[in-house]
Amino acid sequence: MTPDATTVTRNLYLESATAPPPTEPLSGEARAEVAIVGGGYTGLSTALHLAEAGVRAVLVEAEALGHGCSGRNGGQVNPGLKPDPDEVEADWGRDLGRRMVALSYAAPDEVFALVERLGIDCAASRTGTVRAAVTAPAEAAVAKLYEQCRARGMPVDLLGAEAARARTGTDRYRSALLDRRGGHLNPLSYARGLAKAAIEAGAKLHDRSPALAVERSGGGWLVRTKGGSVAAETVVIGTNGYTGDLWPGLAQTIVPVFSAIAATGPLPPALRAAIMPGRSSLYEIGWDTVYYRLDDAGRLLMGGRGPQRPETSPADFDHLLRYAERLFPALRGQDWPYRWSGRVAVTTDHYPHLNEPEPGLYTMLGYNGRGVAMATVAGRLIARRIASKGREPIDLPVGQGLKPIPFHAFRRVGIEARIVYGRVRDRLGV
Ligand SMILES: Cc1cc2nc3c(=O)[nH]c(=O)nc-3n(C[C@H](O)[C@H](O)[C@H](O)COP(=O)(O)OP(=O)(O)OC[C@H]3O[C@@H](n4cnc5c(N)ncnc54)[C@H](O)[C@@H]3O)c2cc1C
């Protein structure tokens, strides 16, 4: 994987993940039924499921497989979409809305089943997802979500302050929702495992092959890369927060938001026993999202918003360290050798967007920080839609045109204002 153009980035996963399968840049003219742009979970899962259905797929990735969010994320396998189940059903109607809720809450089942079926070595641990409330409004949100999940028969527990403390090791939380379907894994090992399985199933994957143009060619498409081209009937673009100007208007449908992670080395046994003794992954409900977990080697990974630019100094991560010490004062004096960030794709309606802006061209992006499970599932759905020639219904809405976000050019000012506003609200508890 190419490191960022700064010397401060040290991505833990580059040092802890399983080896990538050998791949070569695309060279010369290739032909396939489906050309896929982007080697994260969206592209890899699409390639895997197409290949398993007997469809010839060629994937091109600009950098290394898993270079984007998929090799940088918090590793949390979270159930559900960002909007609550009631909201999803209100937004999309009882039929599709219900199917979207069922699909998204079962998404971790699919990830853990895939890991098992394909034998992916990625430190997968099904120890639950905790959504924790620091403020009174967050506590109300947790209670509301609990009611909605229970009404649908989902296996969730509402933890009061004492139970939350026992589960997490900190007394910061007023309440929390524990969903045992979630868990965590090493995200880069997972991406590389999907890649290996896709290759074994017959897909062709090419790293270091940035797509420079996607053009109509005869009745199909031509994806031109630096060293060659892929002619295909169908194209899938899964470039998420790393979307450039490959397809007109696509970058304007999302806002790339930097998320940052700092990680310790393996903690001493006493600290490991005290921090997250339930070994779940956790994210806080609030305006200023914080997420953390202990990995299989007992390292603490603490994530949250960072500066909205590539990091330029280790100090860019200091707020995460301070917050970790506030949660767990015994961490004071620990070394945090790993610090890195990535670009999450956020949409204004908080839903992931699957689009078919032109017949035979799909775009899928905007997981709003929930892509470990949802991008895996989305890849399977896209593959099914393509393999069934659009005949089989899928459990996600398929847009027929890209809707650019108004005033997109001013997004950076907007994100920074939103983060400051969120921090103030969280501090005031409103
Ligand atoms: C710091 C961080 C923490 C996160 N934590 C979590 C978490 O704990 N749980 C969770 O569910 N989600 C989390 N996410 C989000 C999650 O990682 C993403 O939703 C998911 O990985 C999206 O996968 P993807 O394949 O759509 O995109 P990506 O993995 O970003 O892949 C897109 C790829 O497209 C490539 N690309 C771009 N342009 C081109 C081109 N022209 N030609 C070829 N290739 C191109 C990029 O190089 C990149 O590799 C986090 C994200 C970040 C950054």
Reported as a single tens digit per residue, the pLDDT across 272-313 is 999 999 999 999 997 678 999 999 999 999 999 888 888 888
Torsion of CA 45, 40, 26, 115, to 10 degrees: -50
Say if residue 424's pLDDT is above 80. no
Confidence grade of residue 405 (pLDDT, cut at 50, 70, 90): confident
pLDDT digit string (tens) for 156-195?
999 999 999 999 999 999 999 999 999 999 999 999 999 9
Ligand 1, CB within 6 Å, residue ranges: 37-43, 60-63, 67-70, 72-76, 78, 210-211, 238-242, 244, 246, 259, 261, 291, 303, 341-344, 365, 367, 369-373, 375
The pLDDT score that the predictor gives to residue 306 is: 84
Q: Which atom of ligand 1 is nearest to the CA of 75?
A: 8
pLDDT digit string (tens) for 208-248?
999 999 999 989 999 999 899 999 999 999 999 999 999 99
d(CA 301, CA 280): 12
The pLDDT score that the predictor gives to residue 419 is: 56
Q: Which atom of ligand 1 is nearest to the CA of 370?
A: 11
Q: Which atom of ligand 1 is nearest to the CA of 71?
A: 29
The CA 200 to ligand 1 mean position distance, Å, reads: 23
The CA 240 to ligand 1 mean position distance, Å, reads: 6
Residue 416 CB contacts under 8 Å (≥ 6 apart), including other chains: 308
pLDDT digit string (tens) for 123-134?
999 999 999 999
The pLDDT score that the predictor gives to residue 300 is: 98
Whether 387 contacts 371, CB under 8 Å? no
Q: Which residue has the higher pLDDT, 413 or 97?
A: 97
Question: Average pLDDT for residues 332-359, to the nearest whole number?
Answer: 95
Whether 34 contacts 236, CB under 8 Å? yes
pLDDT digit string (tens) for 378-391?
999 999 999 998 88
The CA 10 to ligand 1 mean position distance, Å, reads: 17
Say if residue 407's pLDDT is above 90. no
pLDDT digit string (tens) for 89-146?
999 999 999 999 999 999 999 999 999 999 999 999 999 999 999 999 999 999 999 9
Confidence grade of residue 7 (pLDDT, cut at 50, 70, 90): low
Q: Which residue has the higher pLDDT, 35 or 7?
A: 35
Show the DSSP H helices in 23-124 as ranges: 41-52, 85-92, 94-105, 107-118
d(CA 340, CA 213): 30
Average pLDDT value for the chain: 93
Say if residue 423's pLDDT is above 70. no
**3-state class of 134 per DSSP?**
coil
Say if residue 2's pLDDT is above 60. no
The CA 166 to ligand 1 mean position distance, Å, reads: 33
The pLDDT score that the predictor gives to residue 1 is: 41
Residue 423 to residues 14, 135, 417, 427: CA-CA distances in angstroms?
A: 31, 12, 10, 6
The CA 389 to ligand 1 mean position distance, Å, reads: 27
The pLDDT score that the predictor gives to residue 415 is: 59
Instruction: Determine the residue of 45, 240, 284, 355 to mutate for testing ligand 1's pocket, defined as the one with the most ligand atoms within 8 A of the Cβ atom.
Output: 240
The pLDDT score that the predictor gives to residue 311 is: 85
| CATH 3.40.50.300 matches 12-73+188-252+351-411 | no
